[in-house]
């Protein structure tokens, strides 16, 4: 199968679905999931410091346009019918052509069950259905071992590099990134 963009609905398995957000219908549930996850996300996710209802609303409102632009494909992580986090495929201006980066976060109650690993595997498979993608990356702070265990389980290989000194830094981040890559 050859695609120009990832599909908006990925049925990963019997309990896990990744689907594009519906800004209006998902706002209340998405906001509550973030609110309940703040302490768990704060160490690693710089945006948590700026979290508010207005920002969550603006984030969901911009998803359709970001998807259409080809830069950012954001999915709700839906486990047994409930949103438990978010993940996505992103292109960044400083990333090499042909590379898509995966990001993910989960509500703390959804961790420890392979949800992030299954989601990242599905996103990797989806990325490689795009003919212009030859490499998938997962980048996280070098101290974020839970995040790194995901690409390690999927056979990605890693290198270290200094993080962008101009990018906002979350409280537990060290300034060194681990970059995991898997080639087609």
Ligand X SMILES: CC(C)(COP(=O)(O)OP(=O)(O)OC[C@H]1O[C@@H](n2cnc3c(N)ncnc32)[C@H](O)[C@@H]1OP(=O)(O)O)[C@@H](O)C(=O)NCCC(=O)NCCS
Phi, psi of 38 (to 5 degrees): -55, -45
Sign of CA dihedral 110, 81, 155, 126: negative
Cβ of residue 31: shortest distance to ligand X, in angstroms?
17
- Pairing outcome for strands 82-90 and 9-11: unpaired
Q: Which stretch binds ligand X (CB under 6 A): 23-31, 62-70, 102-110, 128-136?
A: 102-110
DSSP 120: H
Q: Residues binding ligand X: what is the number (CB under 6 A)?
A: 21
Check binding of 45 to ligand X (CB under 6 A): yes
Which of 8, 114, 168, 171 is the binder for ligand X (CB under 6 A)? 114
Among 30, 105, 156, 180, binds ligand X (CB under 6 A): 105
Report CA-CA distances (Å) from 35 to 49, 143, 144: 12, 24, 21
Helices 23-41 and 53-61 sit at what angle, rounded to 10 degrees? 130
Stretch in the footprint of ligand X (CB under 6 A) among 18-26, 36-44, 46-54, 128-136: 36-44
The minimum distance between CB 11 and ligand X, in angstroms, equals 16
The residues that touch ligand X, with contacts defined as CB under 6 A, are 40-41, 44-45, 104-106, 111-118, 140, 144, 146-147, 150, 153
């Amino acid at each position: 199968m050859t695609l120009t963009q990832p599909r908006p609905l990925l049925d990963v398995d019997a309990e896990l679905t990744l689907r594009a957000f519906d800004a209006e219908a998902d706002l209340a549930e998405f906001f509550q999931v973030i609110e309940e996850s703040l302490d768990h996300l704060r160490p690693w996710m710089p945006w948590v410091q700026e979290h508010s209802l207005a920002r969550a609303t603006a984030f969901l409102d911009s998803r359709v346009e970001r998807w259409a632009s080809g830069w950012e494909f954001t999915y709700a992580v839906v486990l047994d019918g409930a949103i438990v986090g978010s993940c996505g495929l992103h292109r960044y201006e400083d990333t090499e052509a042909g590379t898509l980066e995966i990001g993910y976060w989960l509500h703390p109650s959804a961790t420890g069950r392979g949800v992030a690993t299954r989601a990242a595997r599905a996103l990797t498979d989806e990325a490689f259905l795009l003919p212009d993608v030859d490499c998938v990356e997962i980048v996280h702070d070098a101290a974020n071992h839970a995040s790194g265990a995901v690409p390690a389980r999927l056979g990605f290989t890693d290198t270290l590099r200094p993080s962008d000194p101009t990018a906002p830094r979350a409280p537990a981040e060290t300034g060194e990134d681990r970059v995991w890559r898997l080639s087609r």
